Structures are given as structure tokens and as C-alpha cells.
Amino acid sequence: MAAFDRVKSGIPEMDTAFDNIRLGDNVVWRVSDLSEFKLFMEPYVKQAIEDKRNIIYFRFASHEPLIEECPEVKRINVSLSHRFETFTVDIHNAIEKEGYDAFYVFDCLSELQTAWATDLMMGNFFRVTCPFLFILDTVAFFPIIRGKHSVQAINKILNTTQLFFDVYSDSKSVYVRPEKIWNRNSETMFLPHTYDKETGEFRPILDGVKSSRFYQTLGKAQRSAEEQYSDSWDRFFNRTKLLSENGMDITDECNTMCKIMMTRDPKMREMVRKNFTVEDYFAVRDHMIGTGMIGGKSCGMLLARAIIRNNEPDISDVLEPHDSFYVGSDMYYTYIVDNDLWDLRIRQRTDEGYFTLAEEFANKIMEGTFSQAMRDQFVRIIEYYGQDPYIIRSSSILEDGFGNAFAGKYESVFCANRGSLEERLDEFEHAIKIVYSSTMSLSALDYRKRRGLADRDEQMALLIQRVSGSYYGSFYMPCAAGVGYSYSPYRIMKDTDPTVGMLRLVMGLGTSAVDRTEGSYPRVVNLDMPEKSSYSSSADKHKFSQGKAEVINMTDRQLEKLAYEKMESNIPKYLEKILLEHDT
């Protein structure tokens, strides 16, 4: 059959009223109860069986099956896991296998919240699935439950689907009001209609009395304005906070917060539950943009601070308070979907495209744009930091997990945060794109491949932190920074204990302690003998000392590696005594 050919819905008068469902149509039914959806799905399936269509039922939800087992309908069971990409690709592959002219029924999309905890990803799923069904000239029925989703999520579906119907009912009547009928029109098409299941009568409401009854039914089904603009994610956190403030036991809710926001790793999850307070979870949410996980790096940092606070309060009291922000992992997929890159993402996941399409995908990520809603939230962070510099760091779901460090595989970007608000916003967005595109670096891809992680969802969350430091003239840097290891790989001195750990310390930004710089070396400190030098002569001490410090040049808005002589005039004498050792 040809694209846009008319097909029968099983309700002849509805076909007349709406100029038929067509091949390529995705049909969304917003209902108060799935029994209302069945009023229209069952005639559709019955008609498709009579017309000898290829009928497929995607079964993934916990509600009762919408279609009973029968030989004429193929049931495809798909596990509704927490992995958006895995679930979506499984559906995509099944649709591709069925090919053209198939007829589909999907379980209730509202149940996707069960796994993904947010309306946002439900909208993303529909946005990438609907066009694929459309190009294969299929017909697909989707139910969603009224009152479960934000206006933003519904709009994402409404802007993508071909047909969108609202169904209402009371004790006497069933009403259908079209919200969208693509590429069809008539004088009465978009009026509310009544449907009588017994007689099959499907008529527009032209009578004033009937119209008033319809709007009375509609009014009872509406939510408050505030609820309509709240994602299910926000409603959950708001309800949990209210329960906590009223002294209720929210242990189950804390477990849920840990599951949907902190980590998927069972070991990490256990440690978070043990060390986090209720206030800790709420603090993360209050500093978070979007939904999803905060990623391995963010979770590890917060967990470490909680452990120190709980077990070493004296140390905790002298730690610099952190003022981090987090961009949830769902924003990564949303950016890909909103920029029409999902098809490229799917092709890059295959064995053939894994490496060959990576560069193209990375370039497309750099060329993309953020939605206005996301930009508005970015401004919130920029305004918080004023014009102090910050760093946008990778914090992928798999990063810094047990057995998978991903050390140095993804980018982190320093931002000087100077100039007009628009300039600072552009800098912020550019930095995020660099981190997002680094998921396609050959180093990261090879690391995932070698560790058997190539098929795992690797959503990129972000950790945004104010750069700890001070101003020295036009330069900004911490006086000292470094990186610590729980085990020392260096056995420079025979009598050191490698299990005690080590530090790599530098003057300036800590990047020099992590990345190797030719002619410049960090100070290696074995923690069991912190004051003991590993160098036997003054010549070696001179040769293997730090030659350059990395700083942020606030005037030029970029990182620089400077010899000490170029910043000496801006360094206070007391810091010289602490940081420098003069040759004698």
C-alpha cells in the first residue's frame, strides 16, 4: 500500500468524521483509564485482523495486557529497564524487522515513568520512535494517562504525532476531542464528538446542552495549573520533602532518590544509603538541572565528603565547603534527540559504525543547539557564580565506578566566566558540547570496547564546580593543588609503604598534577613519609621540580602555563615561603 492511504479504524462513523486514519499515522489517546483506550483499540485490532494486517503488540508495562493472546496478533515482550537507550533500541530493532505496513499497539506510555522517573524521557522515547514508524507506513496506537504528565512532555508528543485525541467519559457518554489531526480538515473535525459503543454512532457536538455537559466532564478531569507544569520527577521530590518536613518516615523515598538520582552501581548504592542523610539528597536535587543520574564522579565526590563528615568530623570542619551544580544524565539524551541526532547515535552503536561514525557524531554534537528551557537553567548557574571561574567536568554514569575509572578519557573544561551574560552563556554551552562530544573520543570508545561496555548506556552527566583559588593580578589559581592515590605505584624509596598512598602536588591548577608537562614535574609525596625527598642530590631535585604553573588568565580568558618568573610580582611573600624552595 502507498503512504497516507486510508485505513479502517473499525468505527466507520469515526472514519468519516476524521477523514480516516492513514498509513504513517501515530495515534495517541489521552485517557483517564485504560478502559477508555480499549473502546477504540479493540475495534481497530478487530478490523486489522479482518483486513489480514500484520499486527504487533508491544508488551512492557505492569498493567493488565491490552490484547489477549491470539494467533492473529504478534506479542513482543520488551523489558522495561532503567536503560532508556537499551529499551528504545530494542523497540527500534523490532520495528525495523517487521518492515512496512505493520499495525501496532503499545502498552501505556505513562508506565515509562516507573523505570525512568521522569516525563522528559517518555517524551524523548516518543520523539525518536514516532518518525521511524512514520517512514515505514505503519499505524500505531499509544495510550497515555491524563493527569500524569507535564505540559512540556505532552507538547513533545503533540508536536511529533499525527493524531492526538482526548477521551473523556461520564456515566452517560463517551467524548472524543481531537487535539491534532495532521493534514486533514473539515468544518466539524476539531469539535468534541460523542461515541456510542453499542450503536457505533460517532457524532460532533453541535447542541448547546450537550456541549455544556461535555465541558462539565472536561472540567472535572483537569489538574491545577501548577500540577500541569510539573514533571513527575518534581512532583515526587516535592511530595517527599513535604513528608519529611512533617516528620514522616521516608526511608523508602530515600531509597528511591538514591536509585533514580545517585547511582546504578549496587556497591555504591549501599554506601550512599549508609552515609547520606535526608538533607543530602535534597541538597543534590536543589543544585541539579534536569533529571536522571548525577554520574559517577559527582556521586563519588559527595559520598567521600559524607563519609568524612560522619567518621572524621574534625577533618570535615576544615574542608572547604563545596558549591557544585549537576546536570542530570537525561539532558545528554535530550540534547541528542532535540538535535535530530538519534538515528546517527543508533548507527554509531553498531559494530560497523562504532569507530567509523564517532567523529561525525562528535562534530554534530558540537554543531547542535540547546533548547530555550535548558538555556534558562544554565543562566541560573552562571548568575550564581557571578564572574568567578568554574569548571565543567564529565561525570558519566559508568565513570569512577568500581573497576571502571575512565581516568582521563573524557574532557573537563575551565571557563573564565567573563564578559557579557550572552558571552558567558556561549562559553558555558560550548564547554558542555566539548564534554558531550568527548564520549566519542577514540580513547573512550576503545576503553569501553576493551572492558565489554560498548553496549552499555553511557549517559553523560556533568559536574560543575567553582574553581577553588584566588586572584593574583590578572591570574587566577589555587596556591596549591593535587591528586591523591590510595596506592602508590612508585617505589622510589625502599622503606616506603605503597598501601598508605601518595599525593602529586603542584602550585597552580591541579591539571598539572594529573597531566604530564614536558620539563615540569609535580612533587610526589609518599604519605607514610611526607617530608622525605626521593632525590639524592640537589641537581636531581632541581631537574625534577615543577617548571611551570597552570593558571587561568582572566584577561585573555584562557589557560596558560607560566614559569614562576612571569607571575612572581603577583605572589605574596608569605606564599613564597610556603610554596617555594630556593636552590642553595
Does residue 226 sit within a domain? no
Using the 3D structure, point to which of 431, 447, 468 is the last residue of a domain. 468
Number of other CB atoms surrounding residue 147 within 10 Å:
12
pLDDT in tens, 215-228: 999 988 876 555 55
pLDDT in tens, 276-295: 999 999 999 999 999 999 99
> How confident is residue 143, by pLDDT bands cut at 50, 70 and 90?
very high
- Same domain? For 453 and 548 the reply is no
| DSSP helix/strand/coil, 291 | coil
Domain coverage including residue 80: 6-221
> What pLDDT, on the 0 to 100 scale, is given for residue 227?
58
> What pLDDT, on the 0 to 100 scale, is given for residue 583?
63
CA distance linking residue 302 with residue 276, whole number of Å:
9
> How confident is residue 487, by pLDDT bands cut at 50, 70 and 90?
confident
Does residue 1 sit within a domain? no
Q: Please check whether residue 350 is in contact with residue 449, taking contact to mean a CB–CB distance below 8 angstroms.
A: no
Q: In 253-355, where do the E strands start and end?
A: 288-289, 325-327
- Same domain? For 302 and 370 the reply is yes
Output the domain CATH number for residue 433. Answer: 3.30.1490.20
- Same domain? For 417 and 478 the reply is no
Rama region for 292: left / alpha / beta (φ>0; ψ in -120 to 50; rest): left
- Same domain? For 518 and 437 the reply is no
- Same domain? For 458 and 482 the reply is no
- Same domain? For 213 and 276 the reply is no
Q: Judge whether residue 406 has pLDDT over 90.
A: no
- Same domain? For 460 and 484 the reply is no
Using the 3D structure, point to which of 435, 468, 501 is the last residue of a domain. 468
Share of the chain above pLDDT 70, in %: 95
What average pLDDT does this structure show over 64-78? 97
Using the 3D structure, point to which of 407, 440, 468 is the last residue of a domain. 468
Q: Please check whether residue 324 is in contact with residue 287, taking contact to mean a CB–CB distance below 8 angstroms.
A: yes
The pTM for the full model equals: 0.89
Cβ within 8 Å of residue 548, ≥6 positions away = 512, 517, 519, 520, 561, 562, 563
Question: C-alpha cell of 580?
Answer: 617555594
- Same domain? For 260 and 274 the reply is yes
> Cα dihedral sign for 369, 373, 379, 380?
negative
- Same domain? For 463 and 494 the reply is no
Q: Judge whether residue 405 has pLDDT over 70.
A: no
Does residue 227 sit within a domain? no
> Cα dihedral sign for 334, 339, 343, 349?
negative
> What average pLDDT does the structure give for the chain?
91
Task: Count up the domains in the chain and report the number.
Answer: 3
Q: Please check whether residue 95 is in contact with residue 136, taking contact to mean a CB–CB distance below 8 angstroms.
A: yes
Distances (CA, A) of 547 to 475, 561, 565: 17, 9, 10
> What pLDDT, on the 0 to 100 scale, is given for residue 579?
83
